[in-house]
Amino acid sequence: MVNNNLYAYFAKNFLKYPKRDFLSSDHGSIKFENIHEETGLYVAMFSNMGISKGDRVVVQVEKSIEAVLLYLACLRYGAIYIPLNTAYTKEELRYFLSDSMPELFVCDPQKENSMRELAKELKLNNVISMNSRKEGTLFHRLLEVQSSSFVEVCKDDDLAAILYTSGTTGRSKGAMLTHKNLLSNALVLLDYWAWEENDILLHALPIFHVHGLFVALNIAILNSSKVIFLDFFDSKRVISELPNATVMMGVPTYYVRLLNEQGFNKSVCQNMRLFISGSAPLLSETFNSFEERTGMQILERYGMSETSMITSNPYSGNRVAGTVGFFLPSIEGRIINEKGEEVVDGEIGVLEMKGPNVFKGYWKMPEKTKLEFTPDGYFITGDMASKSSEGRITIVGREKDLIISGGYNVYPKEVEIALDMIEFIKESCVIGLPHRDFGEAVTALIILQETNQEFEVNIRHLLNDKLAKFKHPKKILLLEEIPRNTMGKVQKNILREHYKNLYLE
């Protein structure tokens, strides 16, 4: 019987280079030959805890080798892996936990007591903890078990993971990704980016998003590549590791920050084969400065949590600044205008696509899922794009009211809801404005009920419990009136135009 469990595909590569390090971090390393034995411990722990195939495992922990083993063990066991941004507050977590109702919740040891209270309130069974220093109750549990040899048999449309992506209404949606979704995309990218036998990946991304978890790690495992696994992005540290690597992936902010460093030059990149950028638009200015400095062109690609990667600039051939390249093999894409017709080359419309990488739907939201697909089965991305006669895609904007700050998505609605709950705020409006470092910066424009000298300190204090730090406005400006059209809709475009240089001066 064919086992379509993604882990089973990964395992085929563990003994290709058994002695090669898979992950190497500041806290230790693990060789390919040890992955099966090590994940077998987590599998035995799941079994002891009474976890079953299809159960959800919510994980909000520091980046670590053990967190990757936990991810691999979930795949292997047929449990559904749900990674969460470590910046999320308890309030945000309450939503994710009550929506996904996991059988196991893994958190940071420092938060374990408070998380146990939350879990009790929500009637969740198992809470354990871990961090990158191997502290936490998960490690006690691993000492109690013997490694299991079990690998669950999965169909290709069994769920492997749920990735929460914020929604226009302020409520996050859980994108359900199957074993097939993840495998198909990783295989395509392995080939499209011409991965080589001895490639070494420099990994500085967080591992709770598609970019750092699936795009980066799944490919590295399928290619039996060593991964230099950094705790987080730090430009000086990245520069010191670049001579040891051949491939790096990052959000545009990483490349902007590298270019701000004098030590970033051709010589540190001498062994590098490929720099990949995605998750947010890479400015042509950054692409050009990078080429001038290093002699290399960044390869920009485009994707979403719901689909993993959709388009990519070519590996061989021209990479064009400001464009995200071609639809990847196995993906059918089109650009549709307001009348529902496919546009001619060069015209702008909404990008729609289908392929084996497209998610199964939003967790417990069948109605919402239906709205995101066309009757003929294309997924509606909500990104505005155009296509050149050559087939190159340019993302020109978004139909959805979304801010992308340093590669993290922030839906203004969610921030507006949090602001509007503050007693002394009469009205609020949140927009994204151009920012040199973050690409876009979350900016709040508010009207107060009455004069309040301390308003900014008070707002920031009140937001601390409600929203992850990256969603907080970088600036809060006072307005006397928020511009609206005759229908009463806030004219955000007027505000964006008016304040467009706020962070650039």
Binding residues (CB under 6 A) for ligand MCA: these are: 205-206, 209-212, 233, 251, 253, 278-279, 303-305, 405-408, 438, 469-470
When the beta carbons of 360 and 398 are compared against ligand AMP, the nearer one is: 398
Picked from ligand MCA, ligand AMP, none, the partner binding residue 395 (CB below 5 to 8 A depending on kind) is: ligand AMP
- Helix %, strand %, coil % for the chain, to 5? 30, 25, 40
When the beta carbons of 141 and 211 are compared against ligand MCA, the nearer one is: 211
When the beta carbons of 82 and 205 are compared against ligand MCA, the nearer one is: 205
Residue 137's SS3 state is: helix
Q: In what order do the strands lie in the sheet with 326-327?
A: 28-31, 21-25, 226-229, 200-203, 247-250, 274-277, 299-304, 308-312, 326-327
- Of the candidate residues 324, 331, 385, 422, the single one contacting ligand AMP (CB under 6 A): 324
Kindly state the tokens that stand for 264.
């970033």
Region class of 361: left (phi > 0), else alpha (psi between -120 and 50), else beta:
left
How far apart are CB 424 and ligand MCA at their closest, in Å?
22
Of 113, 106, 97, 145, nearest to 129 by C-alpha is 106
**Run of H or E residues at 336:** strand 332-336
**Cβ count near 428 (within 10 Å):** 24
- Of the candidate residues 40, 102, 278, 355, the single one contacting ligand AMP (CB under 6 A): 278
What is the C-alpha to C-alpha distance for residues 154 and 140, in angstroms, rounded to an integer?
A: 29
When the beta carbons of 8 and 251 are compared against ligand MCA, the nearer one is: 251
How far apart are CB 277 and ligand AMP at their closest, in Å?
7
**SS (HEC) of 253-291:** HHHHHHHCCCCCCCHHHCCCCEEEECCCCCCHHHHHHHH
Tracing tokens 């540290």 back to the chain, one arrives at 237
For residue 281, state whether it binds ligand AMP (rule: CB under 6 A). Answer: yes
Picked from ligand AMP, ligand MCA, none, the partner binding residue 233 (CB below 5 to 8 A depending on kind) is: ligand MCA
For residue 165, state whether it binds ligand AMP (rule: CB under 6 A). Answer: yes
* Torsion of Cα atoms, 474 then 479 then 484 then 489, to 10°: 40
Contact 310, 304 (CB under 8 A): yes
Picked from ligand AMP, ligand MCA, none, the partner binding residue 383 (CB below 5 to 8 A depending on kind) is: ligand AMP
What is the distance in angstroms between the CA of the first residue and the CA of the last residue of the chain? 63
For residue 302, state whether it binds ligand AMP (rule: CB under 6 A). Answer: yes
When the beta carbons of 105 and 233 are compared against ligand MCA, the nearer one is: 233
Contact 276, 195 (CB under 8 A): no
Picked from ligand MCA, ligand AMP, none, the partner binding residue 470 (CB below 5 to 8 A depending on kind) is: ligand MCA
When the beta carbons of 14 and 208 are compared against ligand MCA, the nearer one is: 208
**SS (HEC) of 363-406:** CCCHHHHHHCECCCCCEEEEEEEEECCCCCEEEEEECCCCEEEC
How far apart are CB 213 and ligand AMP at their closest, in Å?
12
Contact 231, 25 (CB under 8 A): yes
Q: Which residues, numbered 378-397, are part of the site for ligand AMP (CB under 6 A)?
A: 381, 383, 395
**How far is the CA of 123 from the CAs of 118, 150, 261, 285, in angstroms?**
9, 29, 50, 51
When the beta carbons of 150 and 232 are compared against ligand MCA, the nearer one is: 232
For residue 300, state whether it binds ligand AMP (rule: CB under 6 A). Answer: yes
Site string for ligand AMP, 195-214 (x = CB under 6 A): ---------------x----
When the beta carbons of 233 and 302 are compared against ligand AMP, the nearer one is: 302
How far apart are CB 303 and ligand AMP at their closest, in Å?
6
For residue 398, state whether it binds ligand AMP (rule: CB under 6 A). Answer: yes
Task: Please report how the helices 284-294 and 252-259 are oriented relative to each other, as an axis angle in degrees rounded to 10.
Answer: 50
Picked from ligand AMP, ligand MCA, none, the partner binding residue 211 (CB below 5 to 8 A depending on kind) is: ligand MCA
What is the C-alpha to C-alpha distance for residues 302 and 145, in angstroms, rounded to an integer?
A: 42
For residue 305, state whether it binds ligand AMP (rule: CB under 6 A). Answer: yes
Query: Cβ-closest residue to ligand AMP?
Result: 305
How far apart are CB 92 and ligand AMP at their closest, in Å?
16
How far apart are CB 470 and ligand MCA at their closest, in Å?
4
When the beta carbons of 14 and 255 are compared against ligand MCA, the nearer one is: 255
When the beta carbons of 196 and 234 are compared against ligand MCA, the nearer one is: 234
What is the C-alpha to C-alpha distance for residues 394 and 320, in angstroms, rounded to an integer?
A: 10
Contact 87, 468 (CB under 8 A): yes
When the beta carbons of 136 and 281 are compared against ligand MCA, the nearer one is: 281
Query: Cβ-closest residue to ligand MCA?
Result: 406
Tracing tokens 């997924």 back to the chain, one arrives at 379
How far apart are CB 408 and ligand MCA at their closest, in Å?
4
* DSSP string of 171-221, one letter each residue: --EEEEEEHHHHHHHHHHHHHHTT--TT-EEEE-S-SSSIIIIIIIIIHHH
For residue 251, state whether it binds ligand AMP (rule: CB under 6 A). Answer: no
- From 26-34, 44-52, 257-265, 299-307, give the range in contact with ligand AMP by CB under 6 A: 299-307
Interacting residues with ligand AMP (CB under 6 A): 165, 210, 278-281, 300, 302-305, 324, 381, 383, 395, 398, 404, 409
